[in-house]
Each structure stands twice: as structure tokens, then as C-alpha cells.
Amino acid sequence: MKLKFLFLPLQIFILLLVVFMANINPTRSYTSVSNLASNRVVNLTTMALKLEEDIKNDLYRARDTFTGDITGYGADCPLCGGTLACKPSYYVKDGKTTYPDSDYGTVRIVASSKNLSCGSIVRFQLPHVSSEPIVAIVLDRGVLGNDLDLLMESEDYANQFAGRTTTSYDVLRVGWTR
């Protein structure tokens, strides 16, 4: 009799345990509702902004660094014809000192030796000419070794402000991109 009394609660407990276990499904997964389409748009936008930032940062990453003398010259110098060795169709006798590069925007013009290919982009600091670093493109020749010659508005201006400065400069691009 005593055994029968204990057997009934045990049966009820086992029955409740089976019912409870039947309601728990181990393969059931709980998911949250989200709008995948808008998430993709945000992710693509974020990826595009990141790619744009990476491209910009890569544009201004130094590929190489050289040390040389940086001087100035004017397009109106006695031996200058107003055209550039690397870009003869680009006339500078009128005092133009910049060039519209498709990757770097408006950049200054420098002469280099053949150590740097035409179209190379360089960056250097000349505190007596500009407080910002100067980004320039190699469009002319006429110097030796690792030296650069910065095109200035006139020969007088070059003599007055440029001088001769030994400095390091970064090569950001080697030659034309196309």
C-alpha cells in the first residue's frame, strides 16, 4: 500500500516532465525580425565610404622617399620656351604654375631628372614658400640626380622666394596612371 502511494506522485511527475520536454524543441531557433534590404543599403554605403577613404589614403601614401635640392625656376627664364619637356602642349609662359591632374586635383609643376618618370607625383615641404606640403607633378626636365626645380610665376619670384633647399620628398605616384 505504501508503495502504491509513492507510485502515483512519481507517475504524475514523469508525466509532467514528458509534457514539459515535448514543448521544448531543440531544433527550434529564435530569430529577430530585421529588414535585410535596408541593412544591405547601409552596408553598401558604408563600404563605399570606406573604399573612398582607402583610395584617398593610398593616394597620399609614400611609395619612395628621396633627398635632394629643391630650387625654383620661372617659365620666363632666358632659356625657357614656355613648354614643358613631358607635356609640350601645356603652355606655361603666361605664369601658370599648376596642372589639373585627374587623381590629385590641381598640383604644382616641377622639373626633375630622368630619375623620376614624367607624370610622377611628389610631396615636399618648403616652409618659406607654403605652410602646407606642396604636391607637384613632374612635367619638365633639366636638373640632375634627385634634385627638383619648382615652377614659379617668374624668374624674379623664383630668385626672391625659392632659394636652394635640401630636403626629403616623397614620391606618391611613379609616372602616369594611364
- pLDDT tens digit string along 2-35? 566 666 777 777 777 777 776 666 555 555 555 5
> Is 160 part of a structural domain of the chain?
yes
> Is 48 part of a structural domain of the chain?
no
Helix/strand/coil for 163: coil
How many distinct structural domains can be found in the chain?
1
Share of residues in the chain with pLDDT > 70 (%): 78
> Is 139 part of a structural domain of the chain?
yes
- pLDDT tens digit string along 105-141? 999 999 999 999 999 999 999 887 778 999 999 999 9
CATH code at 85?
2.40.40.10
> Is 42 part of a structural domain of the chain?
no
* Interatomic CA distance for residues 154 and 73, integer angstroms: 7
Give this prediction's pTM: 0.68
Q: Which domain holds residue 160?
A: 63-173
